[in-house]
């Protein structure tokens, strides 16, 4: 070996040894598709309807409004939801202009809707702005792809230019349920959307949210609902439910919110129950507690009525015992796998200044805050290491 070759070998060896003690830098692993969870306090839902040519989007719009307002309220809808009509692709020439009446009836009083059929370029600007604001604020964007992905692809292209540092693959979640929707998407746009977003393909919801010749009981309940009746009336005028009751695209919204595969009958029982039956405390299937009984099933859909009844009962108990009432949940120490709730007269012993049903605001800084039951925040109160109580301050619900 020549002197020059030996020196070269020595240099290579020294470099190798120098790097041997350093940790290897590997590319960050991407989360698997669909791993993210919706956060109501910061995420945005973009509802896309093609209305070309099937009219089931009308039923889906009414169902979407029913679910979202029931869970989160109308004010939340205005801030966290954007609805778009004309989200079509190869089927553009088959757009149904009569769908405007349904969109007006459903969305006009809770933030309005975007007309991508007549104002596509202007709508793209609006979507890029709204999505960008959410992403900049630390939220994610969830797309209910009730139509084709052409407009989604265009928004993503513009966002990548406007926000090059944001990992859209991790922050924009597109949920699609339909083979037909994918076939009607421009091929390049479908490939781009799948490559550049967290694209979540779910089971075809036509299997559980579509009834040929309709369901008379569902229609009657929907039309009679004091809040959502006008939305469903417009939807049924647009698409006769006697021919077909179909809000299969709403299966995508159910996936976003983590509601599972709810069929039409379950939807009716959860969201379209008569007002009178929601305001009373049922006597069957009760969870027994130290303070009496309270039915728990369908809590999310009837939260307001149930919480009102719980607060009244806790208020009476609190006044009688001169102790603050706390609405408690049974849970694991990590705050996961929440089981049946209970009414309890437990309270945080460290919050000695708590009076009546209030919870001392000064104590908030001493308790870990996390999202558990959307959209409320849960205070974690741990009187002892072996007995963690996950408590919702009643002051936040009053």
Pairing of strands 286-289, 377-384: unpaired
pLDDT at residue number 213: 94
Q: Could you tell me the pLDDT band of residue 72, with boundaries at 50, 70 and 90?
A: confident
The band of 10, judged by pLDDT with boundaries at 50, 70 and 90, is very low
- Over range 85-104, report the average pLDDT: 97
pLDDT of residue 33: 65
What order of strands is seen across the sheet that includes strand 172-176? 113-115, 81-85, 44-49, 141-145, 172-176, 198-201
Q: Which residue has the higher pLDDT, 232 or 370?
A: 232
CB count within 10 Å of CB 177 equals: 26
pLDDT of 172 strictly over 60: yes
Those residues whose C-beta lies under 8 Å from the C-beta of residue 229, and which sit 6 or more positions away, are 222, 223
Residues of the chain with CATH 3.90.245.10: 44-271
The pLDDT value given to residue 396: 26
Stretch 192-215: mean pLDDT, rounded? 96
Check residue 137 and give its pLDDT: 96
CB 66 within 8 A of CB 236: no
Specify the higher pLDDT residue, 55 or 372.
55
Average pLDDT over residues 367-375: 28
Average pLDDT, the chain: 72
Provide the CATH number for the domain formed by 44-271 in this structure.
Answer: 3.90.245.10
What secondary structure does DSSP assign to 105-116, as a single string?
Answer: HHHTTTT-EEET
Mean pLDDT of 261-287: 62
Give pLDDT, residue 37: 86
DSSP SS3 for 185: coil
Interval 158-163 mean pLDDT: 96
Q: At residue 101, does pLDDT exceed 70?
A: yes
Q: Is the pLDDT of residue 110 over 90?
A: yes
Residue 30's pLDDT is what? 53
Q: Which residue has the higher pLDDT, 237 or 321?
A: 237
* 103 and 95 Cβ atoms separated by less than 8 Å: no
Report for 34-48, 239-253, 287-301, 365-379: range of highest mean pLDDT: 239-253
> Which has the minimum average pLDDT: 46-50, 256-260, 286-290?
286-290
- In the structure, what pLDDT confidence band is assigned to residue 46 with cuts at 50, 70 and 90? very high
pLDDT > 50? residue 371: no
pLDDT band at 36 (very low <50, low <70, confident <90, very high): confident
Q: What is the dihedral of CA 355, 361, 365, 366, to 10 degrees?
A: 0
State how far the alpha carbon of 205 is from the alpha carbons of 181, 251, 360, in Å.
12, 5, 46
The pLDDT score that the predictor gives to residue 282 is 29
Does the pLDDT value for residue 113 go beyond 80? Answer: yes
Inform me whether the pLDDT recorded for 357 exceeds 70.
no
Q: Does residue 361 carry a pLDDT above 90?
A: no
Tell whether the model's pLDDT for residue 297 goes beyond 50: no
pLDDT above 90 as % of the chain: 55
Mean local confidence (pLDDT), 220-231: 95
Distance CA 354, CA 363 (A): 9
With 80 as the cut, is the pLDDT of residue 44 above it? yes
pLDDT the model gives residue 310: 52
Task: Region of 86 please: left (phi>0), alpha (psi -120 to 50) or beta.
Answer: left
pLDDT band at 313 (very low <50, low <70, confident <90, very high): low
- Residue scoring higher pLDDT (364 or 266): 266
Rounded distance between C-alpha atoms, residue 301 and residue 112, angstroms: 24
């Amino acid at each position: 070996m020549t002197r020059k070759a030996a020196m070269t070998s020595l240099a290579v060896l020294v470099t190798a040894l120098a790097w041997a003690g350093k940790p290897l830098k590997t590319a960050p692993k991407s989360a698997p598709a669909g791993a993210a969870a919706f956060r109501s306090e910061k995420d945005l839902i973009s509802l896309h309807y093609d209305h070309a040519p099937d009219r089931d989007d009308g039923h889906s719009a009414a169902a979407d409004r029913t679910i979202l307002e029931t869970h989160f309220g109308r004010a939340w809808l205005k801030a966290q939801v954007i609805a778009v009509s004309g989200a079509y692709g190869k089927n553009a020439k088959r757009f149904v202009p009569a769908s405007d009446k349904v969109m007006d009836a459903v969305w006009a009083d809770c933030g309005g809707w975007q007309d991508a059929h007549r104002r596509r370029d202007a709508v793209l600007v609006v979507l890029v702005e709204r999505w960008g604001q959410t992403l900049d604020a630390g939220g994610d964007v969830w797309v209910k792809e009730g139509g084709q992905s052409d407009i989604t692809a265009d928004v993503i292209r513009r966002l990548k230019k406007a926000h090059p540092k944001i990992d859209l693959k991790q922050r924009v979640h597109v949920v699609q349920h339909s083979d037909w929707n994918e076939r009607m998407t421009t091929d390049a746009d479908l490939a781009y959307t799948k490559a550049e977003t967290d694209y979540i393909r779910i089971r075809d919801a036509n299997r559980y949210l579509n009834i040929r010749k309709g369901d008379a009981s569902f229609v009657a309940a929907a039309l009679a609902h004091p809040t959502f009746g006008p939305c469903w009336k417009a939807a049924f005028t647009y698409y006769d439910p006697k021919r077909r009751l179909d809000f299969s695209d709403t299966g995508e919204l159910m996936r976003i919110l983590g509601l599972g595969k709810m069929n039409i009958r379950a939807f009716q029982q959860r969201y379209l129950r008569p007002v009178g039956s929601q305001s009373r405390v049922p006597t069957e299937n009760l969870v027994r507690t130290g303070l009496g009984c309270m039915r728990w099933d369908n809590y999310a859909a009837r939260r307001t009525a149930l919480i009102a009844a719980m607060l009244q009962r806790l208020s009476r108990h609190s006044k009688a015992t001169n102790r603050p009432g706390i609405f408690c949940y049974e849970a694991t120490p990590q705050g996961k796998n929440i089981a049946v709730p209970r009414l309890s007269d437990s309270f945080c012993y460290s919050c000695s200044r708590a009076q009546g049903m209030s919870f001392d605001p000064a104590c908030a800084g001493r308790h870990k805050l996390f999202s558990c039951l959307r959209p409320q925040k849960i205070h974690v109160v741990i009187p002892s290491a072996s007995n963690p109580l996950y408590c919702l301050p009643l002051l936040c619900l009053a």
